[in-house]
Structure 1
């Protein structure tokens, strides 16, 4: 097998490889909307393994954008081989590590159902950082939003509320594994301009005039059908434990129903048992699970 950096001339072959195998791996960044504009560059170092006929038999690609770099990490877009060969995985990993100067780790999500790939991560000296679960809510009745006195929810206003969103989200997620890196004003503005943005889907919870919570509902696809994705849902630490997250969740569920979404999806960290319990109580059911593996880079 020949290991080489992906060149522009082979991008379409790489895209087809990703489409063919995305159901075997975490497909968060393998949707068509991501792949159609993909190009290998300093933020997306990518290597492929080809056979004598020039066909791709394995691929590895990292996401090293500004957000991940600030967290001193990189996320795999794909790390997959049609051949279960540790040496091949080792070679791909070694090729990518050359691009990770200044980072502390690389990480990857592996579906719990893909036991062979999980076993390969163990052999490659990846270790488990955390577990995460995907939950889906079918078209059910939505309970009424009941806010305490002096609380209100209003829609996010683009061009005005980006700073509020950052402060609440970053404080609420400051200790949540995998989400500790703060988001920036530019990132929130990009969310508003993205193709999955839903007008009215981003909401802010206020206590009097103080913003204390945020939630986002975005257009998504699951099992080849439209679905609304909820996330983030964040409450300031000093306001947690008051049932406010439940009310903000219900406001998002009502928005989904008003916009004819019959299914809603979200993800939750395995150690966040309180959030998991809330979602189950509000009608969500677990449909998938993933393991987050990390590989510590040498300093």
Structure 2
């Protein structure tokens, strides 16, 4: 029989359901001094977590809340286990990506802004050529959702491997080749130094004039000034952004006024969607840590996600 594992929940402002999830996983919620691990709930306070770990250096496992861990990279090291929300939010974010793809290609944004009857605009997602940059959980979910649409799907990722439902997988070095001919390009990858400013004027210049960009990853993947140029010049048909750089996007920013740009305020998963998903990840990982099983969402320190 496995003993109860002692887990801290921090910072003090953490919602009560986090501690409930720890207990449901077989953990005892304690302060940092007697904890074997910590569930850290503030995705923006990396320095607070660093201070916590300096105070309690014996802690062997850290769970952070979101899939994106770029804020924590400076403090992640090999001295303990690190896990994140990798894969937790794949389903709702993929659903949102699909909604944005349809909204852009079927001109829903333009019609929503119209104040009088207008003419027909739009292209089919049915049978379209889709390029998805990133090969993680969001991509796997999106590929499954795209199944009924009969799309020809290309995935760009760090390492080539077969993916169910994907026609072609290429390495990141072949991104430009994958952009050519695509009707829609979806960004669904982790933010690392290598993927920062991945989409700039050079990449937009090789995309099709009718193509749409959908970003449900991180705003810093895109050079914002170059995207504005591509949208204003007609270099691409449009962009649907759930993330921006900067974020939040200032009220007077040019992107808000462009008819071919649809912006949602980083709502690929809302609290109503995210809480039960993260609660289940915490429950599962506390149980796994207690019984010595492999933890879900392990952070690869060398890859940065």
Judge same fold: TM > 0.5, yes or no.
no
Question: Structure 2 length normalisation: TM-score?
Answer: 0.28
Whichever structure has more strand as a proportion of its residues is 1
Whichever structure has more helix as a proportion of its residues is 2
Question: Structure 1 length normalisation: TM-score?
Answer: 0.28
